[in-house]
Structure 1
Amino acid sequence: MPRSAIAADAADHVLTVEKIPEMLLRYAQHPYAALARQGPAGEKGGSEDLTGVLALLRTRLHFDFSGYKPGTLVRRVRRRMGLRHVERMPDYLQLLRSDPGEVKTLFKDLLIGVTRFYRDREAWNYLEEQLLPSLLRGREAGAPLRVWVAGCGTGEEAYSLGMLLIEQSQSAEWNGPIQIFASDVDKEALDIARTGIYPESIAADVPPGRLRRFFLQDGTHYRVNKELREAIVFAEQNLIADPPFSKLDLISCRNLLIYLSADVQKRIISLLHFALAEGGYLFLGSAESIGSAEDLFETMSKRWRTYRRIGATRYEMLSLPTAAHRPTPELLADPLAPSKANRLLTRVQQQLLERYAPAGVVINRRHEILLFVGRTDLYLTQPAGAPTDDLLTRVREGLQTRLRGLVRQVVTDHESQAIAVRVRRDNVWHRVRVAVEPIQLSGDTEGLLLVSFADDEEAKPRPAPEAAGAAVTERDDSVVRQLEAELKASREDLQGTVAGMEASNEELTAANEEVMSVNEELQSTNEELETSKEELQSLNEELNTVNAQLQSKLDELERTNNDLDNLLTSTNIATVFLDGHLRIRRFTAAVTRLFTLIPSDVGRPLADIAPTFTDPALLTDATTVLKTLTPRQSEVATREGRWYMRQVLPYRTQDNRIEGVVITFSDVAAEALQGARFDLEAALNKLAANEARLRTTLDTAADAIITIDESGRVQSFNLTAEKMFGYSATEVMGKNVSMLMPLPYSKEHDGYLTRYRETGVAHIIGIGREVEGLRKNGTRVPLDLSLSEFTDSTGRKFTGILRDLTERKQAAQWRREHESQLAHLLRANTAGEFAAGLAHQLNQPLAALANDIAACQARLGAGRAPGVRALLKHATAEAQRAGAILRRFRDLIRKKPQRWERADLREIIRDAGELMRPEMARQQVAFDLRLPPDPLPVRVDRVEIEQVILNLMQNALDSVEDVRRHGRISARAIRLHAARDVGELARVSVEDSGAGISEEVAGR
């Protein structure tokens, strides 16, 4: 926050912490502070000294503060003098002349820009709930709503009013344009208002709903949205010197008039009256009022200072500024312009003629006569002294008191009233009827009254007391004169009291405005003090943070220093640090072998220290490195014959500044040994990595990999080998590999190794062959073996790669079996084709046989050889049955697509039974066919289902025949029966007296 205040130029002084108390004491001892402690009495005097200050402000900034209240100006100027520690006004004036920044600061201080959103919340509630709905009620949709916010400052009041207008127009369903003009004399405040960016603290003043609708959060700030921003036009304007806006429906001029003098206030009130449209509203601050302009405005709420424009424009009080400041034309000196007067006279005369045709006058609410009608001299006079237009002063004796009350009643009730009074004229009392009524005309006549006079014709005039001396005694005349004198004195006392009361009210109003002005200034000062307090708190927090950071840095520096000390103490590299003048700054313990250094040598030039080696170029190289920043190195030898690599490098700080050199001495022999160690360690690491990769490859290989030595002992055994043989690596490591081979392979292997050791001849190296392996569980496994040879530091080694051939052999067996089945199917197909041809050839002999039988039957004739005829009939039936069998046999073996049809399963079974019955009879097998009496309708391929039934019956016949071939005697029979199953399904069962199905066949 302090940095933000400095950047915004909002701080009066920017000081270090230790200088702040001194500045506060100087400010407290300044005369301004002493006068502030004295209260209002201390503010008197010294205003005459402001002439030069105001003239300088008017010259430099073109703004005239002469219309401001002197007390306000004195307090604000003295405040600046206290902040700048200037005690005399001439000295401060000289400061203003020499410091343009102080002129600008004083200008902003005199403006007192205290504002915030919805200041005086209850007044804004009244505006929202009553005044604005009344303003929008019945308003035409196309007519723009024009509003002026005078003295808007940084825009909070203008945006507050804009939000209310937008909400109320939507609630009233009024869609006309809203034009808000916001003006101020402070350019910087207007720039803030135009930007529309406010801090997060406005959330305390703006209701959450409006904050969400009309503002966009931008980091730690709120920005006015487009809808609200486009409704407001900000303009630079001096309310005192510049022309106003016009035809306005609402003017908000809050907490601005309290800083101005009474004359300027009166002029601005007339100006605002001129700027308002007929019936427009004026919204003032809680300590402001319209003063004596009661005939220009109707009070809507006295508490919340809201007024409505009435009456004509007071041109005699209106001072519209122009470029040349021309005086008001003489024709405006009349209460009403001639054109308006003629128009008004015509209207009033017409109204009087229609109703009374009496004498009368038109007055405003301040009893000022604006127009005479008829013979008013019968009721009005011109008193001695200065001319006056005050009606109550000019009426004749007997009218003043009653007429004052009558006018007040009409103004209050807005209704016509009339009374009868006695008026003294020419020493005679006349009975007169007086009527007062508001002028009911549109335009600028609102607030005007018509007062008419008419003599009562029925009442007879009565002489005045002095004219009736014969009827009145001298004593009565003396009493009357005394009463009249007392009455006149009482009236004069009452008028004096009323005038004094009005003057007191004006003084009290001015004092109240002064108090409110002081309160505004105090509030501004309080806000500044609050801001200063927050800044001090923020500064204190920042100081605490900085102290904590500093302590952290110190701790870090201490740790770094300890680390550096331990590094310098423990390192074996001889190092010495030199500053820019080649003086010793620090050195390691190892450097004492090369220089005779002790701790007290820090700060001495290196040239003063005797080295134990010969290096004439050392100091020259150090100087060169300081100039060129290029490292230099050289080999040097000590008196003991040890060689060192000497390097000189620039000493760089963190911000890349050169502050000396660093000289290091590295033992060449030690470095070479260290390098060899590094190389060896790197080679070992590489070997370990290769071994790990090889082990991973071996363990993930799909084949078993076994390594043996010359004696046949197992040296390695991968995971696949463990899975293949069932042994773990620990069970076979170091043992002869022949344990994994069945006989005779184990003996052949031992013999091969013996011959190889004796002759060195390798017969199977690099040659793949098929062998058998022996698992741990004793089973054998066919393997493909590939053998290779290599030599390492321990001698020859042999690596065998074995692949399991079990699946390959099973696949070969499966292939052989299926090839046999395929050959059988081919033969069966050939046989079927042959059988089909044979069936076709047999059909012809059967047909010829049937024809011959039929011819024999015809020749025998009826009744002859009945036995022969029976045999012929049977032969015919058998020939037909044989033909049917051949046709069905041909259909079975013929390749054709399936043909589904509805059929009676009983007929299919009978046909199949008839086909098998001759064979069963030949083998002497009893055939029992059991079918249900009701049909068994099914949807099948007739040929295929018949083939299935035939296969079942053939299998049963084979089973019965097999029993006979094995010499077992039993009743040979086949039973076939069919029945309805669940739903539309049918079940066919075949039973035989055979031995049943073997386990081998059932398994397939």
Structure 2
Amino acid sequence: MPTTKHNKHSHLTTPSNYIVGIGASAGSLEALEQFFEPSPPHSGMTFVVIQHLSPLFKSYMKELLSKTTIPIKQLEEGMPVDPDCIYLAPPRTLIEVTDGLFHVKQFIEIPNHAVETGKVDTMLAPDKMSARLISLIRVKQNMDLTYDIAEHSGDVDQSEKEIMDDICALIERKSGIAFGDYKPNSLFRRIENRVFMHNLPFNTLLDYKEYIIRHPEELIEPQNDLLINVTEFFRDKEEFEGLATQVITNLIQQKVEAGEKSVRVWTAGCSTGEEAYIVAMLFAEYLERKPELDIGVKIFATDLDREALAKASKGSYTKQDLKNVSGKRMQQFFDVNGDHYRVKKSLREMIIFAPHNITKDYPFVNLDLITCRNMLIYFQGKLQQKVLSMFHFALQPEGYLFLGPSESLGKLVDWFQPVNSKWKQFNKKEIDKQNVMNTMKMEKTKDINITNQDKRALPYMSPSPHLNLVYETLLMEYTSPCIIVNELNQVIVSAGSIHHFMKVPNGHMTTNILKMVPASLSVAISSALKKSRTEHKEVNYQQINMEIASEKRRVDLTVKPFMLSNIAGAGFSIIMIDEVKEEVGHNESEEMIPYDLESQVHQLINDLENEVNYTKDCLQATIEQLETSNEEYQSINEELIATNEELQSSNEELQSVNEELVNVNEEHEKKIQELIEVTDDFDNLFSSTNIATVFLDEGLRVKRYTPAVTRLIHLLPVDIGRPLAHFSHQLHYTNLIDDAKKVLLERRKKQIEISSKDGNWYKVSYHPYRTKENHIKGVVITFVDMTERKQQTENMLVQSYALEQSPSSILLANEKGEVNYVNQSFEAYTGVERHDILGKSIFSLYEDEAKKQLHLAWDRVNRGLRWDGTLSFTDGSNNQKWEKVTFMPIFNEKQRILQFLRMAEDITEKHQTDELLRKSEMLSALGEMAAGIAHEIRNPLTALKGFLQLMQAERTGNEKYLDIMAGEFDRIELIINELLVLARPHAIKYEKKNPTLIVRDVLLLLETQALMNNIVIEDDVDHSLPLISCVEKELKQVFINILKNAMEAMPSGGKISVSTKIKSRNIQIIFKDQGKGIPEEWLEKMGEPFYTTKEKGTGLGLMVSYKIIENHMGKMEFESKVDVGTTVTLSLPIAE
């Protein structure tokens, strides 16, 4: 897309630079390299490479293309457009150029294939494109099309304007399309583009005119380039919604009020049919909402471009074409057909597609709506007025006109009433009929200024008929329905409501009047035409019986010659048909002939038989004359062909020899220069590269090599041409030659890693040597030193093994805390398998207080600091564990945090040991204290108890209070005894006992107390339990303490279950009640000295129980839920 400047004299100057857009997919690197390889560094072109990549995928295109000599830049917003540069556009962006600067916008969809757009001018291999672009630029720079666009309406040389007008006139005479009234800038751009893209052999506008005169076939091609087909579905959605809500709604309401049942619409310049289908959709949607309406819609969609009409008639579009169509409309009006969408039959039947030249052909009539959007903008003012006047003539009174957003009514603004000025919707206003006809008049095709020699080169072009004058006369002089036919009885022009008497015949299309009217009327018209033409006078028939819409009707027929002073010998006849109204009496004039069908049929048959006989005689004579003439012409033609072939052959031979000599000379010079450049390139490449490379021919003989290869293979410059097998090498590899043969045979590349005798490692790559013709002419072997990379790989592997096999529990997480690595020690330690934690948050490993501490640690390491501490967690077996944890960030060489490292050491056993030690020390201190307290209290308590017994013996009348005091003394003595249990480090004698019997004795002891408190004790104790080593009395004390606590927790009664089971060489005795339960925060304090959950409790009973079970090498555990109950589990080891 060149940036050009125009001035009055040169008109087309050399562009500042040319922008070449290149679409590139993810796998197009090789094609791009082929494209840029032959491109010179100073071509004046700017290349923009648009890559079809995911925005999440990093492009390495800049690095991969860096070998080209043209500078490469990553395109950014606001960058200037510099020539001789390659710009890489970001993925999924739209690039625009304004005022010499790039602008980047977001863009999602791009075509899957450029060919599908139908806009491709040339398809070439990538390595051929650069030369083609340079050739186009040279043609563009050499052109001197002396036609100034910018100043066309001002100071322009008249001869230049006449040249352009002549070109348009030539195209019009050949194609019937008048481009003379198109805006000159549009015409010039398209002619210039045709010259530019097709490399046509001329330099000036006059040269082009002379060229198309000498090459008539060129008159066909430009019309396709000059026709403009730019349209899409719902391009201006708001305007079409306005058409539906205002115009279509009002139009159908008017039809309903008038009692009419049909709507006629004309879509002028419909191109590929999108606009016609939009209008059809809007009518269909409205009628679907009003099912009670019986109104038909017929849309006439016309255009000059027959190829566009063919596509419109097919009604097949791609998903990209329908991007603006809503999903509801897609489902309602389209069927899926492969990768295309086809218009449904019901919608297609509403539209008639037909070719129509709006500048020459007469318009449709009696129309209710005309849509003509974005077509008038390409016409000059005079043609715009003519077309708008046609629309005015074609519309019904108060009919609607819908124009494009950039179009206006111009000087005809008073002919239409605005419905919505913003959306360019108008109503027809009634004006003087003659004024409309004058504006509609067609102009005579311009005479062309050409020489006699050029005239001989022009093809035959038939003159256009003088229908304008015929139609004007018909409209001005006749009010009854009438038809003009020529001497072949073909309908030329019609006016009035003649559709009641005529219809389009089935099968092959014809305009013969005798085949378009009912049979009864056909005979009458045939007879009247013959009589009128024979006698050169008016013929009138009356009371002709015929059927119209299944009703018997009678009509009067008048046929007379149609003569115009300006048209001599045209052979036209006018037919007028008047329907006879039954209620009105008919006054027969003396000139009226009563119509007798039978006599007219007989007369017509006789006349036709005579004509047939005469025609047969004439035909036979003509055939004989043609046979004689044909033989003569054939003989002359054969002689001319022979002579022409001889001349053409001689001319071609001379021209061929001359061209071959010139081409051979140019090719030799070019090849010599290319060989010099290639040789220089190779020499520089070989001297600058450090990659060892050797080129072998088909016989595996050395063709070229880089200096670096001599470190591995002992080659000298004189060894060129010798087989590679003759040379020794420094590699621990014996298949060097065999692999080269294999690659040459299989035509596939091969790579292998091998070591050399000096301890280095090399990646050896074999590639087939391919020519441009894709022939394999040898092998290329490269040796890339990968010693350092291999060492780094091995070091990384060792580090990876060390990390994986480390005894420490190691975890790596990203900045979001998502785990992306754990080692095998982590799995063994936590009981969590690797696949269950990867991708999850590190915070899922911890709960409650530990999670709070982890948040503090995470905040610290995110600030680049280290954190050390102790955390607890529950492993996969639901066991609580304690760990010493270190969290620290991992930095790269730029001190940027990459990952976060967690290293943990299991300290569960140490924590448990410390906890036991703490409790043991507490109990020891408590025992010493308890012994002192017991000693100090027992002596005075004994004395007090003795005095109390004496008082009881005396019977003073205070026995009640004395009994209370005695009970309290007993309770104090019990506390002293329990304290002494903790304090006395006496030797314990353990005996092997059956735990079942001990439990049964306790249950029997407490059975009565349980029944009194409405409590049921459920015995589920196993009778076959193994023996345990124990002190029976102490165990009974523990069991009684647990059961009494359970009873006190159920003041309203309930159930206590006692069960046993064996687990891991331990007997478990389980007590489960239905009491009020213990809150979770109290459970941790159970067993601590003087801690109790009861109002009058001392806490010593449970503490003593803990001490007894601990002395028996056992374990006491509590589980409780508030308002559900408490479970106490005692674990005691089985006796040896």
TM-score, reference length from structure 1: 0.32
More helix by share: 1
Structure 1 or 2, whichever has the larger Rg, is 1
